[in-house]
Structure formats: structure tokens, C-alpha cells
Amino acid sequence: MNILGYTIGEVAIIAANFTCNVALVNSVKFIQYTLHYPYPLLISAMHMIFSWLACGVYVKFNVPALREYTFSRYMKEVFPVAAMASASIGCGNMALKYIFPSFHELLQQTSPAAQVLVCVLIYHQHYNLPTYLSMIPICGGAIMCSGGEVNFNVIGVTFSIGAVLTRALKNTMQSRLMTTSFTNIELLYVLAPANLFFFLTGSFLFEGLFEPTRQLISTPNALVAVVFSALLACTYNLLAFKMLQVLSPVGAMV
């Protein structure tokens, strides 16, 4: 049985990805706003640790394709994807310090247009006219709805749009890796250590070396919430990679 050309399993992946994304965004906002733990970069680092461990167990900490990668090839093909992934996640979590999840998710609806721009301007891909025209109602509605937002914050909006642009770059680059070298789980396993490096470096520089960890350990509610959020992030990351196998990068952004 197909729904709009997709199997039931593919529709389930798309729906689960959307649900998990909403839950993840709200969990991060809850940790920062309600539990007063304002360290989004360390939260992101915890997300990566759980994702790496979960994928590592699945692949038995062994990715044969990775053996073919020299250090220079890894830095050229994998490291940039990790940089964009880290920037996207970091910007998204930073945005939630300043704006509410509902407004952040509204701004994320401009993602399809950003994805098309990246594919056309950087990767010289071409789409048919209906694709370009569809960007008007998809993204135009989000822009119209954001007008008059009572919780508008320039810093938060900047981070949110930054998440859109860097995710567009990341999706395009990682979709190519998934078709040439790695499966979805292998790629997440390979990217996680580099992502962790970026998040920990950013956390040490901008959030402090000891205070985030000390506060996390001394606040049981925050620790439990961060662990739960990390489990959500792990699930979402896996679903996001699976969805890229079902949809194109542009379709995944819609």
C-alpha cells in the first residue's frame, strides 16, 4: 500500500522524524528555560556522546569503509559534514535560549528554500519550475506568520536562520557520503566524534570549563532531562539519516 508514492514504512519514518524533532526541540527548551540549565553546547555534546555509543553498539564499533579513509581524505570529505552538522545543531540549541520552540520551528519552515539555494548556487543542481514555485507557499506562509511575533529576538532569529543554512549544507554533503561510502548508521557513528570535538570546544570557550559539568552533576532533574534529551537526539539523528534515504535533501527539508 502506498501513500502519495511512499510505502507505509517510509511514511512512518517521516512521521516519526517529525514527532521526534518536535519533542527534541521542546526538551532542550525545557532544560534551559524551566530547569535553568543554560548550556546548549554541552547539551549538544551529550547528544553526540549518546548517538556515538548507540551507533557504536549497533555496528560493533567497526566501520570497514572507514579503513579506506586516509587522514587527509577524512578531513576533506567527512570533517566538513561534521562541521556543518555541529553548526546546525549548535545554532538551533542556541536559538532556543532566546526564542520559543514554536517560533523557532516556524523559522525552520524556510528550510526548503535554503536547500534549493544551496543545491543550485553551490552544487549547480537544477529543478523544474513547479519546485521553485512551491517554495512560495511553503516558505512564504512561514514568513508571513512570523510577522508580529511577540517573542521576537534578533539573536535568537539569527541563530535559527543559521541552523537552517548550515543544515542545508550538511544534508547535501551527507547525502553524497551515504550514496558513496557509508550507511546511515555508519555515517552517524563516523561523524559523532568530530561533532563532539566541535561542541566541547565551543562549550569550553563560551560556557566555561567546569561550571556546566558541576551544575549538571549537582542538579539531578537537569541530569535526567539531559539524558532523556540525548536519547531523543540519538533517535532523531538515526531517523534523519533514514529519511534522507527516502527523500531527496530538498524533500527532507520540507
Q: What is the pLDDT of residues 80-116, one digit of tens each?
A: 888 998 899 889 888 888 888 888 888 888 888 888 8
How do strand 2-3 and strand 6-7 relate by DSSP bridges?
antiparallel
pLDDT given at position 35:
92
Rg (CA), the chain: 18
In terms of Cα–Cα distance, which of 103, 69, 46, 21 is closest to 182? 69
Residues 6+ apart with CB under 8 A from 171: 115, 244, 249, 252, 253
In terms of Cα–Cα distance, which of 200, 194, 205 is closest to 83? 194
Q: What is the pLDDT of residues 13-48, one digit of tens each?
A: 888 888 898 899 899 989 988 999 999 999 999 999
- All three cell numbers of 60, joined, read 560493533
Cα 127 to chain centroid, rounded: 25
Cα 244 to chain centroid, rounded: 12
Q: Higher confidence at residue 121 or residue 24?
A: 24
pLDDT given at position 168:
87
Which residue's entry shows cell 547525502? 175
pLDDT given at position 187:
81
Q: Higher confidence at residue 200 or residue 237?
A: 200
Report residue 6's pLDDT band, with 50, 70 and 90 as the boundaries.
low
Task: Share the mean pLDDT of the chain.
Answer: 83
In terms of Cα–Cα distance, which of 177, 179, 201 is closest to 73? 177
d(CA 254, CA 15): 12
- Residue 124 burial by Cβ neighbours in a 10 Å radius (0-12, 13-18, 19+): exposed
Residues 6+ apart with CB under 8 A from 74: none
Residue type, 145: C
Most confident region among 90-99, 133-142, 145-154 by mean pLDDT: 90-99
d(CA 229, CA 214): 19
Q: State the sign of the Cα–Cα–Cα–Cα dihedral 196, 201, 202, 208.
A: positive
pLDDT given at position 177:
74
Residues 6+ apart with CB under 8 A from 3: 11
Q: pTM score, two decimals? A: 0.76
Which residue's entry shows cell 516556524? 106
